[in-house]
């Protein structure tokens, strides 16, 4: 029987964590001929961009990953982002599994740049289904509710909290704060000192967005801010650029602080409580005047998560997040139902089942 030739078009290395449970289901499945591409990983210094390859790529090859620069000849292409060159992939079942959930509106803007392309879009919850169906740029694309495969290993209990903390020299007896700002819009400049000073009684793990290291979409000063400060605070660790997968740190953390990253969105799925740093959302727009965020982050998860407007409010917010009230718990349950589906460690299985249904129905012939 002819194997299904499938390409994971990863784009950036950090996108891979969204695919990991699916990759593991397919890589050793005799039904599939699995390939990978990594075509956007570059670091910028001054005006020059350099392709970035590191040891992790070699590690992936040792796991059996085969890399290619080819775009045509695949029955199925799975991408963590919309494609600027979708036509180069020819007639294929083109699947979009977003590399990061959250409240940014980049997904809808990218669909607007892909007129005529038919994506099979796999999403994490009813909110995303409703938002996409209302989106004027959905076009021929179809939406499928399967949950969030990225979190499967968390719900399967594959990450050990103590092991994660001890790996970075942190104390498992202490509560742990995960600081995961996005690169734009960001709170890192306002909170760069208080995030250290106000968390001395806890473990602090800082996980920057990969763009904060790459110098292309955000300046290199974003990572240098924390590289400089973290040396003075033994209760803290700055995860290096190559630590792409944030999910083990979801398991290690007791609370998360962010403003508009997918981390604060994902955290509601975990029955844990985070902290939102409020931004002046009415002033946050793209160059064309469209808002950066789909939801005003000052209202996002309100009633479930404490919100702060400056770093001095952190101690009280941390205490609240670690000791939620019954009202907070009830509100979080409402949000969880709205934003997520499944949360049972089986989203990757549902993904593959739906993908195969679409493939065998002949949908792969209608990709572009």
Residue with tokens 């979009």: 96
118 plus 9 within the same structural domain: yes
Give the count of domains, the chain.
2
- Helix H or strand E segment including 125: none
Query: What pLDDT, on the 0 to 100 scale, is given for residue 46?
Result: 52
- Regarding whether 285 and 357 lie in a shared domain, the answer is no
Shared domain for 15 and 44, answered yes or no, is yes
Do 335 and 350 have their domain in common? no
Considering the domain architecture, whether residues 139 and 70 belong to the same structural domain is answered as yes
Same structural domain, 332 and 350: no
pLDDT score for 366: 40
Q: Which domain holds residue 234?
A: 160-339
What's residue 44's pLDDT?
53
Residue 336 confidence (pLDDT): 97
Which residues face 35 on adjacent strands?
7
Say whether both 258 and 321 belong to one domain. Answer: yes
Query: In terms of domains, do 173 and 206 share one?
Result: yes
**113 vs 119: CA distance, rounded Å:** 13
* One domain for residues 214 and 127: no
> Are 350 and 300 in a shared domain?
no
CATH number at residue 291: 3.40.50.12580
Radius of gyration of the chain (CA): 20
Beta-strand runs (E) in the chain: 4-9, 32-37, 42-45, 48-51, 76-79, 93-97, 120-123, 142-145, 176-179, 203-206, 236-238, 255-258, 275-277, 307-308
20 with 77, same domain: the answer is yes
Write out the DSSP string of 85-100.
Answer: TGGGG-S-EEEEE-S-
How does pLDDT run along the chain (368 residues), one tens digit per residue? 789 999 999 888 888 999 999 999 999 899 999 999 886 555 555 555 555 555 667 788 888 899 998 999 999 999 998 898 899 999 999 999 988 778 888 888 889 888 889 999 999 999 999 999 999 999 999 999 999 999 999 999 999 999 999 999 999 999 999 999 999 889 999 999 999 999 999 999 999 999 899 888 899 999 999 999 999 999 999 999 989 999 999 999 999 999 988 999 999 999 999 999 999 877 777 667 777 788 889 999 999 999 999 999 999 999 999 999 999 999 999 999 999 999 999 999 999 999 999 999 874 544 44
Same domain? 332 vs 356: no
CATH classification of the domain holding 15? 3.40.50.2000
């Amino acid at each position: 029987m002819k194997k299904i030739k499938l390409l994971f078009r990863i784009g950036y290395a950090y996108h891979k964590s969204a695919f990991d449970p699916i990759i593991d289901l397919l890589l050793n499945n005799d039904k599939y001929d699995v390939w990978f591409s990594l075509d956007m990983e570059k670091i910028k210094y001054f005006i020059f961009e350099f392709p970035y390859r590191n040891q992790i790529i070699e590690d992936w090859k040792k796991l059996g990953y085969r890399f290619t620069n080819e775009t045509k000849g695949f029955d199925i292409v799975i991408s963590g982002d919309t494609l600027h060159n979708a036509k180069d992939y020819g007639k294929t079942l083109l699947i979009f599994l977003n590399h990061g959930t959250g409240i940014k509106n980049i997904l809808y803007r990218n669909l607007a740049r892909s007129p005529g392309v038919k994506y099979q879009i796999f999403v994490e919850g009813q909110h995303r289904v409703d938002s996409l169906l209302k989106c004027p740029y959905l076009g021929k694309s179809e939406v499928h509710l399967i949950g969030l495969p990225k979190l499967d290993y968390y719900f399967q209990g594959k990450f050990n909290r103590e092991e994660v903390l001890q790996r970075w020299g942190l104390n498992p007896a202490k509560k742990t704060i995960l600081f995961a700002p996005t690169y734009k819009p960001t709170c890192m400049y306002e909170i760069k000192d208080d995030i250290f000073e106000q968390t001395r009684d806890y473990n602090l793990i800082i996980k920057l967005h990969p763009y904060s290291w790459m110098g292309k979409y955000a300046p290199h000063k974003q990572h240098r801010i924390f590289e400089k400060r973290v040396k003075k605070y033994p209760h803290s660790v700055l995860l290096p650029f190559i630590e792409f997968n944030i999910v083990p740190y979801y398991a290690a953390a007791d609370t998360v602080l962010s403003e508009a990253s997918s981390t604060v969105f994902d955290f509601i799925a975990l029955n844990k409580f985070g902290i939102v740093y409020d931004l002046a959302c009415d002033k946050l727009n793209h160059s064309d005047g469209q808002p950066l965020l789909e939801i005003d982050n000052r209202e996002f998860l309100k009633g479930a998560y404490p919100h702060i407007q400056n770093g001095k409010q952190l101690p009280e917010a941390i205490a609240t997040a670690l000791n939620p009230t019954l009202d907070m718990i009830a509100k979080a349950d409402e949000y969880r139902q709205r934003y997520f589906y499944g949360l049972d460690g089986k989203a990757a299985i549902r993904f593959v089942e739906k993908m195969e249904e679409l493939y065998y129905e002949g949908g792969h012939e209608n990709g572009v």
